[in-house]
Chain A
Amino acid sequence: MKPSDRPRRVDEVTERREGSMVTVYHPLTGRAHALNPTAYAIWELCDGETLVEEMAAAVAGLAGLAPEEALGQVTRTLADLADARLITF
């Protein structure tokens, strides 16, 4: 994964909100995944246009993190989402 990648949510995935957690269901894998608020926020940003580096810069700005720390967190979250086949690059 590169900072210049533009991840995109998989269209078929459906979501259900429960309190401060979101469960997403992927009909092709038949699996449901519970996303914490941060993972859900990153998942929402995966529109196929937003760069990974833009996501990281926004997280760094709002959370007061160092840019490289924010990039690490965003990259790990995106890798988890990609492993679950919830996003593509």
Chain B
Amino acid sequence: MVKVGLVGDDTDQTALLAAALSAEVSVAEGTPPPDCDVIVVHASADPTRRVGELAALAPVMVLGPDCEESLLAAVDAGATSYLPDSAPLAEIAQAVQATAKGVAVVPPLMLGALLRREIERRRRLGAAQEALDTLTPREREVLAHAARGANRREIAETLYISPDTVRTHLQRIMAKLDVHSAAELAALATGLGLEEP
């Protein structure tokens, strides 16, 4: 039987969902057990808040508002599946089982929005790949270390340069790649596969 970790901010709603799902799957409320097959995040306020952290443990299915913005936010945060929390329980149960197998489930009529997001992501990566050619060899080195999670001081020590020089390199890299934050730079570098040694 599929083991489900159920996380939610509304105790009554979460208990109701757990009871409804328990006929078909094994449900643990609260902190997801380490051996769970899928984690269901059911939260009315900010359903994507913990998704990134939970997605490292198991595939995550988010139950949230019935709107494309929430779907895209959940997927961007690392969710495998997304359903409106108003979906019929039988549909939710089916989606939970599919998500446990790694199959993505989204509302059918939101598929276009998801494809549009994927196309835009690929366009950004394509543009960044072209911009990579404008980086100097040193800037590429700095970017590769940053992509692996090294901070400014660590990069400076590794490359035998000052932290201020690293900062200058990072500022130039961000300008060339048209990104505006360290998090955005890290995500882009990961998308380009630069975190590999």
Please give the residue numbers on chain A whose beta carbons come within 8 Å of chain B beta carbons, in ascending order.
17, 20, 22, 37-38, 40-45, 50, 54-55, 57-59, 61-62
Cβ contacts B93-134/A at 8 Å (1 or 0 each): 000000000001001110111111011001100000000000
| Contact assessment for B109 and A45 in the assembled complex, using a CB-CB cutoff below 8 Å | no
Q: Which residue of B lies closest to A63 (CB)?
A: B104
Most buried by A among B111, B115, B118, B123: B115
A-chain residues with CB within 8 Å of residue B112 when the two chains form the complex? 40-45
Please give the residue numbers on chain B whose beta carbons come within 8 Å of chain A beta carbons, in ascending order.
104, 107-109, 111-116, 118-119, 122-123
Q: Which residue of A lies closest to B108 (CB)?
A: A37
In the bound complex, CA of A40 to CA of B107 (Å): 13
- Indicate whether A45 sits within 8 Å of B118 (C-beta atoms), given known contacts A20-B108, A20-B109: no
| Contact assessment for B118 and A62 in the assembled complex, using a CB-CB cutoff below 8 Å | yes
In the bound complex, CA of A60 to CA of B121 (Å): 14
| 6 contacting pairs across A/B (C-beta < 8 A) | A22-B109, A41-B114, A41-B115, A43-B112, A45-B115, A62-B115
| Contact assessment for A57 and B108 in the assembled complex, using a CB-CB cutoff below 8 Å | no
| Contact assessment for B109 and A55 in the assembled complex, using a CB-CB cutoff below 8 Å | no
In the bound complex, CA of A58 to CA of B108 (Å): 16
Apart from A44-B112, A50-B119, list 18 A-B contacts with CB within 8 A: A37-B108, A37-B109, A37-B111, A40-B109, A40-B111, A41-B115, A42-B112, A43-B112, A54-B119, A54-B122, A57-B119, A58-B115, A58-B119, A58-B122, A59-B115, A61-B118, A61-B122, A62-B115
| Contact assessment for B118 and A58 in the assembled complex, using a CB-CB cutoff below 8 Å | yes
B37 CB to nearest chain A CB (Å): 19
